[in-house]
Copies of this chain bind each other. A is one copy, B any other.
Amino acid sequence: MDKIQRNERLSVIIKTLCDNPNKVFTLGYFSEMFGSAKSTISEDLDLLQKTFKKNSMGNICTIAGASGGVKYIPSVSEMDVRETLEELAKELSHPDRILSGGFLYMLDIIYNPKWVNKVAMIFATKFSGLGIDCVITVETKGIPIAFATAQYLNVPLVIVRHNNEATDGASVNINYASGSAKKIQTMVLPMKSLKRNSKILFIDDFMKAGGTSKGIIELANQFDSKVVGIGVMIETGLPVKKLVGNYHSLMKLNTSEMQENNSIDIKPNI
């Protein structure tokens, strides 16, 4: 019987932890749930910790002390990152993806849970440990990736929009110059949606000149908040100098290649 009980406990613990990444559960929570001693739960967690480590499934992290407990921190190994990005580059290099005007079609990737979760997991691994309070993005195309990243980091998502809506309440508007199109655009963020003194992670699908990132940094300032990380899935090779310095991009796209030779040159940043 004991064997079955341990199996059952392990199953429930894994499911609970993995459904709630980065959320702390006390030992008491599980010991009450199963009617088991805390020392038994502790042994279970030891086992899980080893299994997760051995199989590169992320970390089961125990926190000592009275307010202690256990949480699951999702992470991917460098090898998995490399593999994912190489596979993604291959997928994005298909000639069918070139649209008239020399644009790259990628909606099927950035909206597909399969790819979105892989990309978001890479961002969560990269920016974990910065004490992020929320993930921010600008509508529309970056939303799924930003949402999935927020989910892995267990923080709220904040979406900046281009227009005000009545259902948002009082909002802060800023104008910013998109670095590539030299166009003035508006960013709107409802007052209620971002707490003062937040540490913010900005996630987006694409960066050309970095104008949007710069806008987000300025908008964050209006909320006495700070952008502590910027993650974009793809950056373009040109312009070489972006409007922001400290960002992390997963792939680099050579756009001139696409316009001149009708072929796609995209490479993982590894």
Contacts and interface: CB of A to CB of B under 8 A. Distances in A.
Q: Which 9 A-B residue pairs are closest in the complex by CB-CB distance?
A: A113-B151, A99-B169, A111-B157, A103-B167, A11-B51, A139-B140, A144-B147, A143-B143, A112-B156
Given A99-B167, A147-B147, A12 B51 contact: yes
A144 B143 CA distance: 7
Contact of A113 (B103, B116, B156): B156
Interface of A: 3-4, 6-8, 10-12, 14-15, 18-19, 47-48, 51-52, 54-55, 57, 99-101, 103-108, 111-113, 116-117, 139-140, 143-144, 147-148, 150-151, 154-159, 161, 166-169, 190, 192-193
Nearest to A11: B51
Contact of A55 (B7, B12, B158): B12
Given A11-B14, A14-B14, 20 more contacts: A7-B47, A7-B51, A11-B57, A12-B57, A14-B15, A15-B55, A100-B169, A101-B166, A103-B169, A107-B168, A107-B190, A111-B158, A113-B147, A113-B151, A113-B155, A140-B140, A140-B161, A143-B144, A144-B157, A147-B147
